[in-house]
C-alpha cells in the first residue's frame, strides 16, 4: 500500500514518522503524529510548506504546555520550532524572540539586558509562538502589551510581517490566520535596573509556586475566565476541587488545573474537564470555555 509520506520534499531539518507525542506535552498524554518536523530555519519551513499538498494538516507545537493531544494522535505534520527558530536577540530597546523560545527565557534575556516590561513572562510555561497565538498573559501582563510586530509563515509558505493591529488580539485569542505559524516576534521594552527587574521576576515565581501545582503533569489553566468571574472559583464552588476520574484529577491546590496522576489517558483528562464544565453549568449557569487546546483523534478512530 502506498504511503503519502513517501513523496515528501527534501528538507535540511529533521523529519520523522510516527512520533509519539505523550513525551512532548506537559500532560504526558497523546498518540503519535504522522510526521514531526524540526525545520533548520525559517526558509526550510517555508520551502517545505510550499511543497506540501495544500489540504494536508500542519500544526505548530511548542513545549505542549497547554495542549491536550487525544489518544489516537495527529494526522498530518507537527512542526516544532527549535534551534535558530528559538533564538533571542536584543537590538537597543527591541527584543526579538523566535517562536520556539521559552517565554521564561525571554523574560530572563530582557532582565540581563536591563530591559523592563515583560517580567510577567517568567510566570508563563510556554513558548513565544503559543503566547502569540493565544495572547498569553499572567500577573498583570499580556503578550500584546509590548508587541511591535510578528513574522509568520502562512500555510502556503509565504513569509509575512504583521504589526500588532493586524493580529487583533483579545482575551486569550488572536486573529492569526488558519494554518499560519509564528516565526518570531519583536517587543518594545524600556531601560530598567536589572536588580529591580529580577526582584519582580522572583516575586512572580514565588507567587506562581505558592498558588499553582508545579512539577506535576498538568496543562496549565484549563478554562478561560468568564467575564467578571474567576474560573477556579466557579470550579471550587461546584465542588470539583480534588475531583478524580480514572488517573486524572482536578488539582486540590488550584482547581483550574487538571493533573495526570500517572497513567492517565487523554480521554480521561478530557472527560474530567467535561464533568467539571457540567457541574459548573448546573451550579452557576456559567458555561466554561476550554483554554487548553484539544486536538487529534480518539483512539480507534
pLDDT at 6: 87
Q: Which of 178, 207, 236 is the last residue of a domain?
A: 207
Give domain status of residue 250, yes or no. Answer: yes
CATH code, domain with 218: 3.90.78.10
Together in a domain, 235 and 289: yes
242 and 188 within one domain = no
Per-residue pLDDT tens over the stretch 72-90: 999 999 999 989 999 999 9
Residues 143 and 181 in one domain: yes
Question: Tens digits of per-residue pLDDT, 149-188?
Answer: 999 999 999 999 999 999 999 988 898 888 899 999 999 9
User: Cβ–Cβ contacts within 10 Å for residue 89, how many?
Assistant: 13
Distance CA 206, CA 191 (A): 24
Catalytic residue among 172, 200, 205, 241: 172
Residue 234 forms part of a structural domain: yes
Residues 277 and 227 in one domain: yes
Clarify whether residues 197 and 107 are in a common domain.
yes
Domain coverage including residue 91: 84-207
Calpha distance 102→180 (Å, rounded):
19
Rg (CA), the chain: 20
Annotation marks residue 172 as catalytic: yes
The residue among 25, 54, 83 that closes a domain is 83
Query: For residue 7, what is the DSSP state?
Result: G
Task: Collect all residues with Cβ–Cβ distance below 8 Å to 283 and sequence separation of at least 6.
Answer: 234, 237, 238, 239
State whether 72 and 88 are in the same domain.
no
Is 251 catalytic? The answer is no
Establish if 301 belongs to a structural domain: no
How far is 287 from 229, CA to CA, in rounded Å? 12
Residue 300 included in any domain: no
Among 207, 233, 258, the domain boundary falls at 207
Q: What is the domain count for the chain?
A: 3
The predicted model scores a pTM of 0.89
CATH code for position 52: 3.30.43.10
Q: Choosing from 119, 151, 270, 291, which is the catalytic residue?
A: 291
- The full DSSP string for 246-296 is TTEEE-SS-TTEEEE-SS--HHHHHHHHHHHHHHHHHHHS--PPB-SEEES
Establish whether 178 is a catalytic residue: no
Domain-embedded: residue 269: yes
Annotated catalytic residue within 46, 174, 221, 251: 221
- Cα of first residue to Cα of last residue in the chain, in angstroms, is 20
Give me the mean pLDDT over the 223-251 stretch. 96
Amino acid at each position: 500500500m502506498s504511503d503519502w509520506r513517501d513523496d515528501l520534499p527534501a528538507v535540511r531539518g529533521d523529519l520523522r514518522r510516527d512520533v509519539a507525542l505523550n513525551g512532548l506535552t506537559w500532560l504526558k498524554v497523546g498518540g503519535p503524529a504522522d510526521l514531526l518536523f524540526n525545520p533548520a530555519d525559517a526558509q526550510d519551513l517555508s520551502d517545505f510548506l510550499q511543497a506540501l499538498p495544500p489540504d494536508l494538516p500542519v500544526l505548530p507545537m511548542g513545549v505542549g504546555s497547554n495542549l491536550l493531544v487525544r489518544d489516537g494522535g495527529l494526522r498530518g505534520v507537527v512542526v516544532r520550532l527549535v534551534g535558530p527558530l528559538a533564538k533571542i536577540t536584543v537590538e537597543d530597546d527591541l527584543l526579538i524572540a523566535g517562536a520556539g523560545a521559552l517565554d521564561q527565557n525571554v523574560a530572563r534575556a530582557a532582565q540581563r539586558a536591563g530591559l523592563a516590561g515583560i517580567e510577567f513572562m517568567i510566570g508563563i510555561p510556554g513558548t513565544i509562538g503559543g503566547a502569540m497565538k493565544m495572547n498569553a498573559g499572567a500577573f498583570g501582563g499580556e503578550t500584546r502589551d509590548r508587541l511591535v510586530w510578528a513574522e509568520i509563515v502562512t500555510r502556503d509558505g509565504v513569509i509575512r510581517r504583521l504589526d500588532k493591529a493586524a493580529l487583533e488580539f483579545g482575551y486569550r485569542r488572536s486573529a492569526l490566520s488558519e494554518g499560519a505559524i509564528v516565526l518570531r516576534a519583536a517587543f518594545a521594552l524600556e531601560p530598567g535596573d536589572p536588580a529591580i527587574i529580577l526582584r519582580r521576576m522572583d516575586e512572580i515565581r514565588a507567587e506562581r509556586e505558592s498558588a499553582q501545582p508545579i512539577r506535576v503533569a498538568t496543562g496549565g489553566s484549563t478554562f478561560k475566565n468568564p467575564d467578571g468571574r474567576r474560573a477556579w472559583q466557579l470550579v471550587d464552588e461546584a465542588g470539583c476541587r480534588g475531583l478524580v476520574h480514572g488517573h486524572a484529577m482536578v488539582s486540590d491546590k488550584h482547581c483550574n488545573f487538571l493533573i495526570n496522576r500517572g497513567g492517565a489517558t487523554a480521554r480521561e483528562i478530557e472527560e474530567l474537564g467535561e464533568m467539571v464544565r457540567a457541574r459548573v453549568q448546573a451550579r452557576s449557569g456559567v458555561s466554561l470555555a476550554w483554554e487548553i487546546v484539544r486536538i487529534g483523534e480518539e483512539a480507534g478512530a
